[in-house]
Amino acid sequence: MDGKQTAVTRRGFLGTAGSAALAGSLTAAAPARAELGSDRRIRVGVVGGGFGASFQWHLDPNCVVEAVSDLRTDRRAHLQRVYQCEKPYESLEKLVLDPKIEAVAVFTGAPDHARHTAECMKHGKHVISAVPACVTLDEAALLKETKERTGLKYMMAETSYYRTPTIFARELWADGAFGDFLYSEVEYYHHATKEIGKSSLWWYQGERTWRYAFPPMLYVTHSSGFHVGVTRERFTDVSALGWGPDHEAYRDNAYQNPFNNMVGLFKTDRGNICRCNVCWHLHAGGERAQWLGQFAALYMSGCGGQPFVLQRHGQPDLRSEPDYTPLLPEPMRVGGGHGGSHPFLTHEFVAALVEDREPAVDVYESLAMTVPGIVANESARKGGEQLKVPCFDPA
């Protein structure tokens, strides 16, 4: 088989893969189906006019954007234009008082996610939140308690979960194609700028934003989501190291954080191993993973030139990614950010509310992706000491 990167349909891909049993795993492993068989429309409020404006709420046949909010007037106006919404609020605290809103998309700053989620749920709103779910273990406990007490739906918008190679890896894992064990290498590189401390993301009108010297492992989910989102395993132990320059940004910041790059080695509850990178200042970009098992290896493409390939013992390499877009409603087949994941995240949250079920990346999966980074950050501060990762699954 040649290395030409041609798109194939999902049905054709499964045939090419030569695994009849694989089709049986699709219900649990793949995104929500396109047609929900319901004319119900979920009324959503969108908060955060930066990243929050890059989703497809207005294109989902079962959703309508009821209201939008941002503290900045320019971003409020941007949300209104994107979602054709005539109801702006000046703050999340005002938006959640709107009785017509059923769910809130929280795309505010990372340190505010847990607090804003709790505020929304206090007012009876379901929540989809940008990553990370939280930045402390106390906040993780708050999220778990709030969700279980209210019974409301919670989803974390982890983009790595719905990248095409991750969906496919999830199917392979569910089918047993990797074998009895797995080693993964998961990576997230967000090269801020050549000149440390000068990133436009770090400053707004001369003031530091929450991103200023933010600890890499507190933003771990774009990496950890590649492993937890495929296997549903829980990380139980971690040893992490960090390094960084002798620069004022890492001597004086709100997080007392000295590191701009971090690497963690995690062990799972099934004994598997994951090497996890989150780095702000390396000459690299984007998110990437590779999953190496007993009988198969799957490699994502990446900025360094690695092509997508599935390798299996005794079979030819498979170099064409499957096409999952038919699983989306037709109006949502428009592509999207982070490897086309945004429409899938949007539709999964809406589908979960319409069908009255928990979303794929529910509060337990979200914390399983987020909490390991909190502990890894502490491990790095202790010089790589191996630490236990607490589990926030149901008792």
* CATH of the domain spanning 163-326+363-388: 3.30.360.10
Integer Cα distance of 124 and 103 in angstroms: 8
Average pLDDT of the chain is 91
3-state secondary structure the chain: CCCCCCCEEHHHHHHHHCCHHHHHHHHHHCCCCCCCCCCCCEEEEEECCCHHHHCCHHHCCCEEEEEEECCCHHHHHHHHHHHCCCCEECCHHHHCCCCCCCEEEECCCHHHHHHHHHHHHHCCCEEEECCCCCCCHHHHHHHHHHHHHHCCCEEECCHHHHCHHHHHHHHHHHHCCCCCCEEEEEEEEECCCCCCCCCHHHEECCEECCCCCCCHHHHCHHHHHHHHHHHCCCEEEEEEEEECCCCHHHCCCCCCCCCCEEEEEEEECCCCEEEEEEECCCCCEEEEEEEEECCEEEECCCCCCCCCEEEECCCCCECCCEECHHHCCHHHCCCCHHHHCHHHHHHHHHHHHHCCCCCCCCHHHHHHHHHHHHHHHHHHHCCCCCEECCCCCCC
Tell me what percent of the residues of the chain surpass a pLDDT of 90.
Answer: 81
Q: What is the pLDDT of residue 13?
A: 42
Q: What is the mean predicted confidence (pLDDT) over 141-151?
A: 98
Q: What is the pLDDT of residue 20?
A: 32
- State phi, psi for 278 to the nearest 5 degrees: -135, 115
Tokens of 167: 């969906």
Q: What is the pLDDT of residue 193?
A: 65
Integer Cα distance of 275 and 42 in angstroms: 39
Q: Work out the pLDDT band at 92, boundaries 50, 70, 90.
A: very high
Q: What is the pLDDT of residue 220?
A: 98
* Residue type for position 386: Q
Q: What is the pLDDT of residue 36?
A: 77
* For residue 34, pLDDT beyond 80: no
| Cβ partners under 8 Å of residue 302, min gap 6 | 187, 286, 288
* Residue type for position 2: D
Q: What is the mean predicted confidence (pLDDT) over 371-384?
A: 98
Q: What is the mean predicted confidence (pLDDT) over 68-94?
A: 96
* For residue 82, pLDDT beyond 60: yes
Q: What is the pLDDT of residue 33?
A: 66
Closest CA to 267 of 392, 365, 386: 386
Q: What is the mean predicted confidence (pLDDT) over 29-43?
A: 79
Q: What is the pLDDT of residues 302-332, one digit of tens each?
A: 888 899 999 998 899 999 999 999 999 999 9
* For residue 29, pLDDT beyond 90: no
Q: What is the pLDDT of residues 103-124, one digit of tens each?
A: 999 999 999 999 999 999 999 9
Q: What is the pLDDT of residue 65?
A: 98
Q: What is the mean predicted confidence (pLDDT) over 229-236?
A: 98
Domain ranges of the chain: 163-326+363-388
Tokens of 388: 């236990």
Q: What is the pLDDT of residues 193-211, one digit of tens each?
A: 667 878 888 999 999 999 9
CA angle (282, 288, 289) in 5-degree steps = 125
Per-residue burial over 299-321, b if 16 or more Cβ lie within 10 Å, else e, is bbbbeeeeebbbebeeeeebbbb
Q: Work out the pLDDT band at 51, boundaries 50, 70, 90.
A: confident
Which range (119-128, 225-234, 329-338) has the least confidence? 329-338
* For residue 1, pLDDT beyond 60: no
Q: What is the mean predicted confidence (pLDDT) over 207-235?
A: 97
Q: What is the pLDDT of residue 118?
A: 98
Q: What is the pLDDT of residue 30?
A: 65
Q: What is the mean predicted confidence (pLDDT) over 143-160?
A: 98
Q: Work out the pLDDT band at 11, boundaries 50, 70, 90.
A: very low
